[in-house]
Chain A
Amino acid sequence: MSMLAAFVNTAMIAMFVENAIFSRALGTSVAFYASRKTGNMVGLGLGIAYVLVVSSLITYPIDGLLCDYEYFYVVMPLIYTVIISIVYTGSLLIVWRFMPKLFKRIKKYVHLSVFNAAVLGALFLNNVYHGDFFAYMGFAVGISAGFMIAVFFLHIANDRLNSPLVPAAFRGMPIMMVFIGIMSLAFYALTGYNTSV
């Protein structure tokens, strides 16, 4: 029961307090791209979730083994990139062999859901917090879910933010950034920020 509690608790923290987009700006450009179409949103969201969870299963024991190594923080990106690359290649081979139709559909943007700041950044953050196995996996699931929630918010706002009511120069990316800023302010309140007065 305590394992499940650790999993859910960390997942909730990762989803709302450490939200990939609103609190950490991880994978913002991918989120902009994903928010344009419902298909992109689901596909990229699931892709990121899959890579993050499977990679976390591998990085957990490695983090435990190398955490005392003085220069781990320097080689950590290389180790994580190797792990992500193995997960990516292995998964692609399986999809290519057994689901050729799906492979054709995803091969154009599959790399976007693998080599982005959301995946690598979440692995770095998980290393910083390094809880027990269930907390570690909960964080990976939570970050993925948080990313999907953020993309969903952007998707909903997409049409309004690109409407003629918005000045032409601000339409698209600039107003989207301001919108994320306002959403981020709302999420910031969840961390328990209080004014001094």
Chain B
Amino acid sequence: MAATKKLKAIREKKTERGFDRSLLDGLAKQNIVLMTGIVNAPVVIAATTFKKGVVIAIAFAVISMLTIFICSFVPKKIVYTLRVIIYALVGSVIYIPTVLLLEQIFPLTVELIGIYMPLIITNALIFSKTESRFYLRRRGEMMIDVFFFAVGFAAVCAVTGALREMICFGTFAGIKLMELNISAFEAPFGGFILVGIMAGTFRALYNFARNRRIKQQQSADNTK
């Protein structure tokens, strides 16, 4: 019953052109790193260079999207407490070809990411968002929704990696840009502080843009 209500609320958000704007929520409004903070470890610890950030983003997108798509066929008759086991197992199976393929393309980078690569299997997009959001939609819409969540994560991951690379080594994607070398920022505390500041700034900008849009809309309504 509650799920139906949620679904109705989501579908009512459709714009005049018929495009459901809530499908873009994963990019900014519900960005899983900066807004909800449900996926942190790979960004905070492993994304210390732009290249690492990109590799994590690709792995995350492939593993999450395929797992969520395959698990959408799991019957809802099975209680969620047990259904999560299937999600975890499917994610672990998909991880095998994904990591083998990425190793062929980025051999050293995958090794450097270490334990944070397999940890993508247990991400909250698969375990939490599936039940509260993705599986309440039709399959096609669901995949678009998941795609934008993955894009939102990828953007943050790549930007964090690039920023940390510049702060730590003064380079971008291996190209020397400036004489800056604060290598301690490569440590976990650097990741936590940077992601925390990025999240706060992003929220402030998002709220500013939203409030301005509301004001503009209100003034437009008043003139009518």
Contacts and interface: CB of A to CB of B under 8 A. Distances in A.
A124 B99 CA distance: 16
A84 B85 CA distance: 9
Contact of A174 (B96, B115, B203): B203
Secondary structure of the A side of the interface? helix
Interface stretch (A8-16, A36-44, A48-56, A115-123): A115-123
A32 B41 CA distance: 13
Interface in B109-140: 115, 118-119, 121-122, 124, 127
Contact of B197 (A85, A92, A174): A174
A104 to B, nearest CB: 12
8 contacts: A25-B188, A77-B95, A107-B81, A111-B80, A120-B118, A174-B197, A176-B37, A185-B189
Contacts of A174: 196-197, 199-200, 203
Given A111-B81, A176-B196, A77 B40 contact: no
Interface of B: 36-41, 44-45, 80-82, 84-85, 87-89, 91-93, 95-96, 99-100, 115, 118-119, 121-122, 124, 127, 184, 187-193, 195-197, 199-201, 203-204, 207
Nearest to A120: B122
B200 A167 contact: yes
A180 B192 contact: yes
A119 B81 CA distance: 17
Given A28-B40, A167-B200, A174-B197, A81 B189 contact: no
Given A128-B115, A188-B188, A169 B207 contact: yes
Contacts of A78: 89, 92-93, 95-96
A4 interface: no
Nearest to B82: A89
Interface in A96-136: 107, 110-111, 114-117, 119-121, 124-125, 128
A82 interface: yes
A47 interface: no
A4 to B, nearest CB: 28
A173 B37 contact: yes
Report the 10 A-B pairs with minimum CB-CB distance, sorted nearest first. Answer: A177-B196, A181-B192, A181-B193, A169-B204, A178-B196, A174-B200, A170-B200, A173-B37, A174-B199, A78-B92
A117 B122 contact: yes
B94 to A, nearest CB: 10
B85 A89 contact: yes
Contacts of B89: 78, 81-82, 85
A29 interface: yes
